[in-house]
A and B are shown apart, each in its own frame.
Chain A
Amino acid sequence: EPEVTQTPSHQVTQMGQEVILRCVPISNHLYFYWYRQILGQKVEFLVSFYNNEISEKSEIFDDQFSVERPDGSNFTLKIRSTKLEDSAMYFCASRVSGAYNEQFFGPGTRLTVL
């Protein structure tokens, strides 16, 4: 059964460093998302991506964040200069086009910023 994959499963970085979180969505999906969950808080939306451009972004998704779909398979989230408060579990999700379709989530990348 097709699934969304994410790498790495855990990333530890120093404050101020750049990180790239990688996702491989399901191949026929057209909508892509990043969500995150800070420990003890709700899962929150970061950004959605459709037709090779950002379709919506949250207030969290400031200039330090960027997303890219460099080829036909990968979908990446880059944080240019990490802060302590960026420590969270980051989830990638994808779905087919059309209304009311479920989003398929990856297992997440746990980012720890020291």
Chain B
Amino acid sequence: ILNVEQSPQSLHVQEGDSTNFTCSFPSSNFYALHWYRWETAKSPEALFVMTLNGDEKKKGRISATLNTKEGYSYLYIKGSQPEDSATYLCAFIPISNFGNEKLTFGTGTRLTIIP
């Protein structure tokens, strides 16, 4: 059983503040890590696919880093806006799932931006 964990489980952040949260995964047999943003009643939306140790990816105010040797990824949001309120999910793929690429999800971090 793959252990993929996210912390914190929930987070309240004042509008305009920056924030970050963590996804931890098994450090051995790494293949890829996905980040998704999921708003209630909508489809989970892919943010990043992280594949290489040291990867840093950015989309607007959101960025992510990856450390495969120690088994964690950080997601950062700069200058939070109300529309950033969502659940952020990470999903791990070990090398044994190469080809099929089924996702093993973390618990999610529920982010609420306070206006």
Contacts and interface: CB of A to CB of B under 8 A. Distances in A.
B106 A31 contact: no
Contact of B49 (A3, A102, A105): A102
Nearest to A56: B100
Size class of the contact patch on chain B: 20 to 34
Contact of B103 (A103, A104, A106): A103
Interface string A44-55: 110010100001
A100 B51 contact: yes
B17 interface: no
Contacts, number: 56
Contact of B42 (A55, A101, A107): A107
Q: Is the interface of A mostly helix, strand, loop or mixed?
A: strand
B98 A55 contact: no
A48 B43 contact: no
B43 A43 contact: no
Interface residues of A, number: 25
B62 to A, nearest CB: 15
Contacts of A106: 43
Nearest to A3: B43
A48 B93 CA distance: 14
A43 B32 CA distance: 17
A114 to B, nearest CB: 22
Interface of A: 3-4, 31, 33, 35, 42-45, 48, 50, 55-56, 91, 95, 99-108
Interface of B: 4, 32, 34, 36, 41-46, 49, 51, 89, 91, 98-108
28 contacts: A31-B100, A33-B102, A42-B4, A42-B105, A42-B107, A43-B89, A43-B91, A43-B103, A43-B105, A44-B105, A45-B103, A48-B100, A48-B102, A55-B99, A56-B102, A91-B44, A95-B101, A100-B32, A100-B51, A101-B49, A102-B46, A102-B49, A103-B34, A103-B46, A104-B46, A105-B45, A107-B42, A107-B43
